[in-house]
Chains A and B, each alone.
Chain A
Amino acid sequence: MTGVFLAIVPAAIWLVFFYLQDRAEPEPKGFVLGVFALGALLAAGVGIPLVNNVFRTSHWIYTDTLTTILGGILVVGFTQEFLKYAAVRYSIYNSGEFDEPTDGVIYATAAGLGYATVLNIQFVVSNGGVDLGAGVIRIAVVALAQAAFSGITGYFLGRAKFESEQIWWMPLGITLAAIFNGIFNWLQGIVTQPRITLSGTTTNTWMGLVLASAVALATTGLILWLVRRNLKSMQAGK
């Protein structure tokens, strides 16, 4: 139960953090929480069963580095990013509350955090709990990463709605998010894949976490820069 609580707390913190970025015109909390719940439901009902039971990624994705990256992008990345896109596109996107490009990032990160919460609960339950070192940091990093990657999709969604972009614009957004997601999963895989050495088995837990955190933080930085640039241009427009 403590593990499940630990799986939810980082997502809640990141949700508040991303929500506060939209200071100009804050979104209704109920809508943000609704999209968060939709992201979680799509993860539990479609994403995780598709990746784990249909594609059975654990059986083949760690065969070699190329397979880990390609499988991470084509299967895990596209599944997750499409579902997070769908959580926004088929709910709030046509609503009057989605009234500025930044809203795409806010709602998409909410969907991403909902998705991350279910992934983290699954991680805790399947491992029978988490340790207070690497396990908790992994949960926080996964939540941030899922929020940041869906933030990319959200940025493209926001621009697509208000700036009449080309037909390739939105697929490009999903593809970029899936690529980041795949690279993150590969780095995270370094955490979970034990290496057999003469002295026994070892895991590069901290190295994997540091690398995965770097990708998550870099993506978050990029998303925040885009959000703030957008807010400045809106204020200049007024």
Chain B
Amino acid sequence: MTNKQTSLGDRYAEIAVIIVTIAALLAGWFYKSGVENASVPFSAEGISAEAPKGWLQLQPASNELLRATDLGSSGFGTTYILRNMPVAEAATAPEVANLLVLEHAQALTAFRVLDQREVTVYGRNAYELTYVFVESNPDLTHTEIPSVVRGADYIFENGEHAVIVTFQADEKNFDLDLSRFHLFLESISF
């Protein structure tokens, strides 16, 4: 096998191909960001937010205002939940967090608290509760492996209510989906 020296024309063509491919991938990246970050306005009980567009909005339960799930997620569908929970006016965020821990422990399989701490979310004081649980399809005929799900609740005190913003995602997707959740968190006003 003899090797031929690359001609100048070949070199320019090669550079042109690389430039066109990078340009296409960059355009694809911006298009992807536009699609993923698209949102629809949501408002209820004086709380407004920009909910992700194209996500399945399930019927909210009890004091939930919004429950949106990304059906495109692999494993457990990434879910945002917005709640407006009535609490005693003197109740503190850590007390609300304890209540949430009890609720989760009753409802979720293998629930474990990972961390809880006071945080500042876009200039607002909040209390962050991070946890993990296992989600399994209750249908015994399903053969897939149960998903390990990571969750984060952000508790905001709002007079006689606590606004709770929940993010739950498959353990594999949690970090990747976090930036989209931050956009949702930033959009919430009450």
Q: Which A residues are closer than 8 A to B by beta carbons?
A: 31, 55-60, 62-63, 67, 70-71, 73-75, 77-79, 82, 85, 89, 94-97, 160-161, 164-165, 167-171, 174-175, 178
Contact = CB atoms under 8 A, between A and B. Distances in A.
A134 B73 CA distance: 25
Interface string B45-79: 00000000010000000000000001011100000
B189 interface: no
Interface stretch (B17-25, B87-95, B155-163): B17-25
Contacts of B1: 31, 95-97
B3 A94 contact: yes
A63 B5 CA distance: 47
A75 B28 CA distance: 6
B176 interface: yes
Contacts, number: 92
A79 B74 contact: no
Given A60-B36, A167-B12, A79 B25 contact: yes
B17 A85 contact: yes
Interface of B: 1-6, 9-10, 12-14, 16-17, 19-21, 24-25, 27-29, 31-32, 35-36, 54, 70, 72-74, 176
B28 A60 contact: no
Contacts of B12: 167
Rank and list the top 8 A-B pairs by shortest CB-CB distance, nearest first. Answer: A74-B28, A96-B2, A75-B28, A78-B24, A171-B20, A170-B13, A82-B21, A59-B72
A93 to B, nearest CB: 8
Given A82-B17, A94-B4, A74 B9 contact: no
B174 to A, nearest CB: 13
Contacts of A70: 28, 31
Contacts of B9: 160, 164-165, 167
Given A59-B36, A70-B31, A78 B25 contact: yes
A230 to B, nearest CB: 19
A74 B27 contact: yes
A94 B31 CA distance: 36
